[in-house]
Amino acid sequence: MDHDHYSDAYIRSILTSVKTIAMVGASPLNVRPSYFAFKYLAERGYDMIPVNPGQVGKSLLGKPFVASLSEIGRPVDMVEIFRSAQYAPALVEEALALTPQPKVIWMQLGVRHDEAGARAEAAGLKVVMNRCPKIEYGRLSSEISWMGVNSRTLSSKRPPMPTHGMRLSLSRQSVGGAETPAADRAARTHEH
């Protein structure tokens, strides 16, 4: 797997197949990127689970925080790592120890750990690094176009009116080889 470039087909296959997402490092602070992504994905119909040991006893948008992946107590399809890259190896091990195992490890925009990614792939999981699922969902559905962002997709179909909790179609035509090299040229390594 080339982790510098992901095809839209690969990202699309993940976002259309997963239903339950555990977000490790979800923040209750409403100016943090994790809060933005959590809220958006919940609005788009994903079953979101906030994981953050410092927030146990509280909840995020109605979902109770859990301390760790092993304490979720039900199957999750995808683990999203919203922590800095140094925590990725331990989190991948924790995810691989779950039964059933999740199908996807997703590391947030700015987070990349090639060894941890390779470990998850060797165990048969799909891996995405240094991408934001909110941005990718918004891009493939073209909802992000409201902000003047280049979705790099085209469609001649009439879309439905998006309403709260609605899943959007991600099957628009991709443009430009469907790669995101620019994200990597500007990839950041600082802490989340």
- Residues in contact with another protein by the rule CB under 8 A: 7-9, 30-31, 33, 35-36, 39-40, 43, 109-110, 132, 135, 138, 142-152, 154-162, 164, 173-178, 180, 182-183, 185-188, 190, 192
- Tell me the closest approach of the beta carbon of residue 118 to another protein, in angstroms: 24
Q: How far apart are CA 179 and CA 3, in angstroms?
A: 11
118 or 187, CB closer to another protein?
Answer: 187
Q: Are 165 and 43 in contact (CB under 8 A)?
A: yes
65 or 82, CB closer to another protein?
Answer: 82
115 or 146, CB closer to another protein?
Answer: 146
β-strand pairing of 78-81 with 104-107:
parallel
Q: How far apart are CA 62 and CA 68, in angstroms?
A: 18
Q: Are 175 and 153 in contact (CB under 8 A)?
A: yes
Q: How far apart are CA 68 and CA 24, in angstroms?
A: 8
70 or 86, CB closer to another protein?
Answer: 86
- Tell me the closest approach of the beta carbon of residue 84 to another protein, in angstroms: 12
Q: How far apart are CA 48 and CA 106, in angstroms?
A: 14
124 or 148, CB closer to another protein?
Answer: 148
Determine which helix (DSSP H) or strand (DSSP E) holds 8, and give its type and residue range: helix 8-17
Q: Which of 152, 17, 131, 18 is nearest to 82 (CA)?
A: 131
- Tell me the closest approach of the beta carbon of residue 13 to another protein, in angstroms: 10
- Tell me the closest approach of the beta carbon of residue 185 to another protein, in angstroms: 5
74 or 157, CB closer to another protein?
Answer: 157
- Tell me the closest approach of the beta carbon of residue 39 to another protein, in angstroms: 6
Q: Are 95 and 69 in contact (CB under 8 A)?
A: yes
- Tell me the closest approach of the beta carbon of residue 40 to another protein, in angstroms: 6
